[in-house]
Each structure stands twice: as C-alpha cells, then as structure tokens.
Amino acid sequence: MESIEKIIEEVLSDLKDASTNEKVSEIRVKYLGKKGLISGLMKNMKDIPQEERPVFGSKVNEIRAKAEAAFQEKTNKLKEAALELKLRSEKIDVTLPAKEVQTGAIHPLNQTYYEVRKIFVGMGFEVVDGPEIEYDKYNFEMLNIPKDHPARDMQDTFYIEDDIVVRTHTSPVQIRTMLKHEPPIRVICPGRVYRTDDVDATHSPVFNQVEGLYIDKNVTFSDLKGVLAEFLRRLYGKSTVTKFRPGFFPFTEPSAEVDATCALCGGKGCPACKGAGMIEVLGCGMVNPRVLENCGLDPEVYSGFAFGLGLDRLTNIKYGITDIRHLYENDVRFLKQFR
C-alpha cells in the first residue's frame, strides 16, 4: 500500500516538470500504459491474500483515477497557456493608424462612354447594340461598299469566312435598325470594333466606337451640325468651337470630318493638337440615298444623318492620354488616377 501511494507522488512530480503535450503523453504511457507502473500493480494481485485483494484493488483504482485527473488537469493548463500565447501574438494595437483600403475605379473608357451616352440619351437617342461577328452584307455591301469598292482598302478586315467578318465599325447595327424599324429612328450604337492594325501609340486592332443615326422626314445638314456642336459643348465645355471640313465616307453624302477646340490647351496650341488649337474628333454626313434604298426606305420621303466617333480618341483627348496602349494594359499605376 505504501508503494501505491509513492506512485501517485511520482506521477505528480513528473507532471510538474512537463512543459509540452509530448512530454505529458510520454509520462502517461509510463504510468497508465499497458506496461505502465499502475497497470503493473494489478499483476501483483495473485501475491496478495484473498481477504486483502478487494482493498488492494480499490486502492489501485483510486490511484488510477487520481492519475487520470492529474493528467487531464495538466493537459488543460498547457492548452490555456498555448491559447494565451496565441492571443498575445494576435492582439491589435488600436492606436495604430488604419490600413489603407484599396478601392477600384471606373475605367476611363467607361467613364467617357457613360458621359457620351448620357448626353445623347438626353437628346432623345436610344442605345442599341449588335453582334461583333457580322455578315459582309451588313458590314459593307448595304453600306454602299461592294466587294470591288476601294473603300474596303481603308478598313483592314479580319475575315472568318468569305461572307463573315469581325465587324470593322458599328455601322451594321444602324443597318439592322433601319431594317427592323420604321422612321423616325434616333439611335446610338456603341461597341468594340476590330481592324488588322499594328499596335502602336495611336493604333490598336481592338478599339471602341459610338456611332449615331437619325432618320426622319426633312432632316438636314443643319440638324447634324446642331446636334454635334451641342454634344461637343456638353462633353468638353461651353466654350468649345467646332469646325466641319469636307470628307469622304461611302455611306454618307455629303460627308464631313469635325474638329473641336483642343480640350487640353483650350485652343491656345499644344503638342496634342500640334499647335493648331483644334483637334479632329469624329466623322459624319448625311445618309447616302443608296443606303436608305438598301434598307427599304424611300430617299424621296426620308433623309437622315449619321456620325461616328472613336471612344478611345475622345478619352485620350479628354484626359490628355498620349498612348492608346495605356487603355488596355491594365496598369494599376495608370488606372488608379481615375478614381
């Protein structure tokens, strides 16, 4: 019985110096394992007189229970110590300044598009879109650009098949609109367009356009000038001056190219406008009667105007961007300027 009492004292002594769970497990095996000291006491049962065996067995079970309780208590203390250490390492110093929250921004192309759309919608135009993979018929032929027309050389085209192309402008959306709807028609057609241009500071094989179309009775070139002049004033400022120069587009006649006061220098002259004080912003013209006929509209009854602007160009002019590649490279240093 004295040796039994000494065992529990040894257990408590060994646990006192144990500082890790591994050490506690090692001590547990020493005393409570199959070959442990406490388990081995029961092997001595055969050497104890019959009348003393119940007392001896009861004492061994009591010691076993005390040892289990001691091991459990030690394990709990080690867990608490580990948790306290973890909490100390994870504590927050509330006096430190807050971390900067990284916020995104609307891409400059989208910012310009939303502004352009808002202006034209305010003038009564609707927004329509169409497929980027287009039939040659809609992309060229119905726009007065037959297969042998020299204007096709002006638009370097990606061909999927002989009669299917990746659209070179959003004008096919205008054709589809005229085929589906009776005048009056007043729409803008935004979207991506594709041409086989080499990538440089001013060219990209993928860029964005917003084209407009107005078809009704008695529409004149004066209406076209009024709409575009007002649009550019709202986009670049009330002091913006516009200048219409003769141009050529096979789907409009007469055609014009439009210059506007340089938004960067206010007309004083700068490298962006090459000292001219004005910069080209879009092309336009009265819808060619052949295009109206191709869409089933009588040019003796209806007339209209169309215009097309490069969204990338407008964005570059508006924000003073000198390289179109910045708009597509997703450089965070560039984009964060537009928050």
The full set of domain ranges for the chain reads 2-90, 108-338
Predicted local confidence at residue 2, as pLDDT: 66
Predicted local confidence at residue 45, as pLDDT: 66
CA nearest neighbour of 4 among 48, 21, 73, 51 = 48
What are the Cα distances from residue 4, in Å, to 9, 30, 175, 310? Answer: 9, 15, 103, 96
Predicted local confidence at residue 213, as pLDDT: 96
Overall pTM surpassing 0.85 (yes/no): no
Predicted local confidence at residue 1, as pLDDT: 65
What are the Cα distances from residue 232, in Å, to 81, 213, 258, 312, 323? Answer: 71, 17, 10, 15, 22
Class of the CATH-defined domain 108-338:
alpha beta
Predicted local confidence at residue 233, as pLDDT: 92
pLDDT tens, position by position, for the chain (339 residues)? 666 777 777 777 777 777 787 887 787 777 777 776 776 666 666 677 777 767 777 777 777 787 788 878 888 888 888 888 887 777 777 788 888 887 778 899 999 999 999 999 999 999 999 999 999 999 999 999 888 877 676 668 888 988 899 999 999 999 999 999 999 999 999 999 998 888 888 788 999 999 999 999 999 999 999 999 999 999 888 888 999 999 999 999 999 999 988 877 777 887 767 777 888 889 999 999 999 999 999 999 999 999 999 999 888 888 888 888 999 888 888 888 888
